[in-house]
Copies of this chain bind each other. A is one copy, B any other.
Amino acid sequence: MSNIENTIDRIQELIETNADEQLRDELNAFHEADIADIFQQLSAEERLACFLKLDEEKAADVIEYLPAQLQVEILGDIDETLASRLISKLPHDEAADVLGEMEEDESQTYLDKLPEKFSSEIRELLTYNEDTAGGIMTPVVLTVSYTMSVKDALDTIRIKAEKENMELYYVYAVDKHNHLLGVVSLRTLLTSPVNLSISEIMSRDIVKVQVDDYQGHIADIFMKYQFNALPVVDLYNHLKGIVTWDDVQDIVEEETTDEIFTSSGIVTDLGDDDDDLLTGSLAHAIKARVPWLFITLIGEFFAVSITNRYDHTFTALPVIAAFMPLLAGLGGNIGTQSITLMVRGMSTGQVSLQDGWHHIMRETVTGVSIGFIFGLLVTLVTWGWQHNLQLGVIVGIAMSLNMTIATIIGTCTPLILKKLKIDPAVASGPVIATTIDVVGLAVYLTLVTWYLIKL
């Protein structure tokens, strides 16, 4: 599918001309991930028309790849019996996610229609907080008894894996009470002598997570140890499920989005269900954006009141006011660069508190160097434009000081927040930008007033 736009055009043409058979053939020939991509570009009606043309297995696979809102939309639009049948073909964690997105009474209807075992497993999954291991894990795990021989274990796997749609990365060794005792990779199992006992080849040094561990923590463990799957246990070490790397991929994307939004002064944890800022309710989107803007408002009124003390300066030499956006703009930009480098460095682990001083020194040198270059440029341009060398020099010095200070504030603040155990991204963008504005303007106005007005 090299060109999705052509594909969409083609599909829409087939729908319009009622070329049913051809539509069915062409759609079913695509990979389910491609069909999901196509669906996202169609109207709701076109989507439904196409969905009903899919073979049932393919339809269930496509559901898996769709974003939550489209899953709910399509399942709501089709016949209820077909919808239940499709849901029962999804992996447990996906089925729970889909049902979790629906209204309470709607999901109850489906749960009542699903096969009993599947339904009760899903009901259990739905009891966990969706941001914890319990909420993202799949409860179907490939287990063998730790007393089995390798040969028996392989036979067990053959039967179990065929019967249930389960992920096959590791085999977990449990006792008869389902306590997690060890883990064997499929590779070890396949390459071990068949008469050995599982307890002889299993690794007992198991990295595992608790059902109520938060997803950020789980992602960190995956990133650090680079596993394909992690077992999830309860307080008593009963094996409850596994979290696989594709679940983690979604978490990482979500956490990255949170980090980026937080840095831009968008609140991401309103604790609302309707947490999608691009498609959710407008009231929610506004609530997420107002808090830091409000704090900026307070900060900037502070800047206004400082600036207002220099009214005699503006009256005497109004060009002074004209330079304020230049200073604020460049200070803000270089400060943002420093903040971004620090916050991202902390989140990838490249910057730690231990080497904080090193980074502060390094950024200061960078700030002084760039400040010097831009100070000089500003001096020259201002001199050429206003034919006033003294003004040029003062504005240039203010610019260079301003950029240096902005770099230092931008570097130190995230480190200080981290030290205080506050998420450095939280207060980064708007607060630092405002601080830089206030400090930069104060330095500039003091300098110009002192040297140009008073002298």
Contacts and interface: CB of A to CB of B under 8 A. Distances in A.
Contacts of A322: 304-305, 307-308, 310-311
Given A278-B351, A319-B308, A441 B286 contact: no
A320 to B, nearest CB: 8
A297 B377 contact: yes
Interface string A305-319: 101101111110011
- Number of copies of this chain that the complex holds: 2
Interface residues of A, number: 107
A40 B352 CA distance: 9
Given A278-B359, A311-B319, A325-B441, A330 B297 contact: yes
Nearest to A309: B322
A259 to B, nearest CB: 8
Interface stretch (A46-54, A154-162, A234-242): A154-162
Contact of A205 (B31, B185, B349): B31
A304 B325 contact: yes
A191 B437 contact: no
Nearest to A226: B246
Nearest to A307: B322
Decide if the interface of chain A is mainly helix, strand, loop or mixed. helix
Choose among A223, A324, A362, A365 the residue with the greatest number of B CB atoms under 10 Å from its CB: A324
Contacts of A429: 333, 336
Interface string A141-164: 000000000000010011001100
A300 B328 CA distance: 9
Contacts of A225: 31, 33
A321 interface: yes
B289 A344 contact: no
A337 interface: yes
Interface stretch (A20-28, A175-183, A208-216, A366-374): A366-374
10 contacts: A40-B352, A158-B190, A286-B366, A289-B334, A299-B329, A301-B381, A307-B322, A308-B322, A311-B319, A318-B321
